[in-house]
Amino acid sequence: MMMGEAITFRGQLLYEEPMSKHTSWHVGGNAERYYIPSDLADLQAYLAALDPNIPVTWVGLGSNMLVRDGGIRGDVIAPLNALDRLELLDDGSIYAECGVTSAKLAKLCLKHKLTGGEFLAGIPGTVGGALTMNAGAFGSETWRHVERVTMIDRQGRLIDRNPSEFSIAYRSVTCADDEWFASAVFRFAPRQAGLESGVRQMLQERNANQPIGQPSCGSVFKNPRGDHAARLIEAAGLKGHCRGGACVSEKHANFIISKPQTRASDIEALIRFIQKTVKQKLDVALETEVRIVGEDA
């Protein structure tokens, strides 16, 4: 339950919202409560009124998340299309709120002839998600371009922080408990020409090598140092292997495709089977890149 029930919020609060509608695998149980804030100030008020014992889960495009069949207890915060302020600042840096898509940030870089953000065009997620996991592609990573961030805590307070206050690694960012990324300021270098062709080349390469258009979460596993998860999964003979309606992609072995009627438990079982098989056959422990949340059915 929420404290201060008489408070009127400007956002949209949904009860027992199916998370299958909000994840790229199209699976998962219901969110107990699902809140879409109208803007950052509204989210601050909502969090300030929320019982501190209620768990909070954030979801952007749902492209790097597996929600279990039992759903998510507590509150899900959905900033996509709500916390979406994006602008070029006077000093040439870019301000982006957490609900801005990575592709939209890449387009702004393209518009203003800034280089370094091309890789973001191929990341199917939001700025908040990219900051949380240090998302990357084509040899680049999000946090290489971060100048500062603004966090929001359980009480709805905004805290400005510098990159030095975080532990940043490959597909991993460690920050204070009960703080989440509200916005960030990015710095990209100016570039005079050729940027458009670079973005097109990256997207063409992605489309050629990944199962675009099929329900997936993107890369399921982190690449081990000096190797690629896809190569290891294929070497273990698992390309095309299925559990229920979940199958390892024939096009890219680090993608799991969900077919109609797939359950989250099918996907999780396949993930665990891949990890077990690669460890047994190749003596490599694969770590998941995808976030697994929620309760078993």
How confident is the model over 59-88, as pLDDT tens digits? Answer: 999 999 999 999 999 999 999 989 999 999
114-139 pLDDT, tens digit each: 988 888 988 889 999 999 999 988 78
Q: In the prediction, which pLDDT does 22 show?
A: 96
Identify whether 219 is a catalytic site residue: yes
Q: Name the band, by pLDDT with cuts 50, 70 and 90, for residue 206.
A: low
Second-level CATH architecture of 86-190: 2-Layer Sandwich (3.30)
24 is a catalytic site residue: no
> What proportion of the chain, given as a percentage, has pLDDT over 70?
92
Catalytic residue among 24, 183, 219, 265: 219
Q: What is the pLDDT of residue 203?
A: 66
Average of per-residue pLDDT across 165-177: 90
What rounded mean pLDDT belongs to the chain? 91
CA-closest candidate to residue 17, choices 65, 55, 72: 72
Per-residue pLDDT, averaged over 76-103, amounts to 96
Residues whose CB is less than 8 angstroms from the CB of residue 116 and which lie 6 or more positions away in sequence, other chains included: 109, 140, 144, 145, 188, 189
Confidence of residue 31 (pLDDT cuts 50, 70, 90): very high
Answer yes or no: is pLDDT of 187 > 90.
yes
195 band by pLDDT with thresholds 50, 70 and 90: low
Q: What is the mean pLDDT of residues 43-72?
A: 95
At residue 198 the predicted structure's pLDDT band, cuts being 50, 70 and 90, is low
Q: How many CA atoms are closer than 13 Å to the CA of 113, on its beta-carbon side? A: 5
287 a catalytic residue = no
Domain with CATH 3.30.43.10 in the chain: 12-77
Write the CATH number of the domain with boundaries 212-293: 3.90.78.10
Instruction: Name the DSSP class of 86.
Output: E
pLDDT at 138 (0 to 100): 78
For domain 12-77, give the CATH number: 3.30.43.10
Please pick, among 85, 171, 206, 291, the residue that the annotation labels catalytic: 171
Nearest to 150 by CA among 107, 186, 196: 186
Indicate if the pLDDT at residue 2 is higher than 60.
no
> So what's the pLDDT on residue 202?
65
pLDDT band of residue 3 (cuts 50, 70, 90) is: very low
